């Protein structure tokens, strides 16, 4: 496959963005959170139980993931629910799941 210079420049322009995304996915807990919310919105308690970590640690992960644009949240009464913020992240996670979880 031959890449045209226009395609090559697009790849070069996106390297920082892709690298940042892959860094975010490189931590096992962040990856577990994203894989869990890929199936549907989850509360902090559900994510804490799923990942098997303390709620305070989970809160720190969720704060970071929201700041990085990986997660969105919504509040319903006293619960906060998290979901994936970007359709590209969903596509990437589905690809990872397809490759590694067959």
Over the stretch 14-33, which tens digit does the pLDDT of each residue have? 898 889 889 988 999 999 99
Instruction: Indicate the burial class of 77 (C-beta count within 10 angstroms; 0-12, 13-18, 19 or more).
Output: exposed
Tens digits of per-residue pLDDT, 34-54? 999 999 999 999 999 999 999
Q: Output the pLDDT for position 6.
A: 64
Q: Output the pLDDT for position 82.
A: 98
For residues 89-96, give the mean pLDDT.
94
**SS3 letters for the chain?**
CCCCHHHHHHHHHHHHHHHHHHHHHCCHHHHHHHHHHHCCCEEHHHHHHHHCCCHHHHHHHHHHHHHCCCEEEEEECCEEEEEECCHHHHHHHHHHHHHHCC
pLDDT at 68 over 80: yes
For residues 57-79, give the mean pLDDT.
95
User: Domains plus CATH for the chain?
Assistant: 5-100 (1.10.10.10)
Q: Output the pLDDT for position 17.
A: 87
For residues 68-82, give the mean pLDDT.
94
Residue whose token pair is 């969903």: 90
């Amino acid at each position: 496959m031959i890449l045209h210079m226009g395609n090559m420049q697009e790849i070069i322009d996106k390297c920082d963005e892709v690298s940042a995304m892959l860094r975010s996915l490189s931590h096992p807990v962040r990856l577990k959170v994203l894989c869990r919310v890929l199936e549907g919105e989850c509360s902090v308690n559900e994510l804490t139980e799923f990942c098997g970590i303390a709620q305070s640690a989970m809160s720190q992960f969720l704060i970071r993931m929201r700041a990085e644009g990986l997660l969105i949240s919504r509040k319903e009464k006293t619960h906060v629910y998290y979901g994936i913020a970007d359709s590209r992240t969903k596509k990437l996670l589905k690809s990872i799941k397809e490759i590694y979880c067959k």
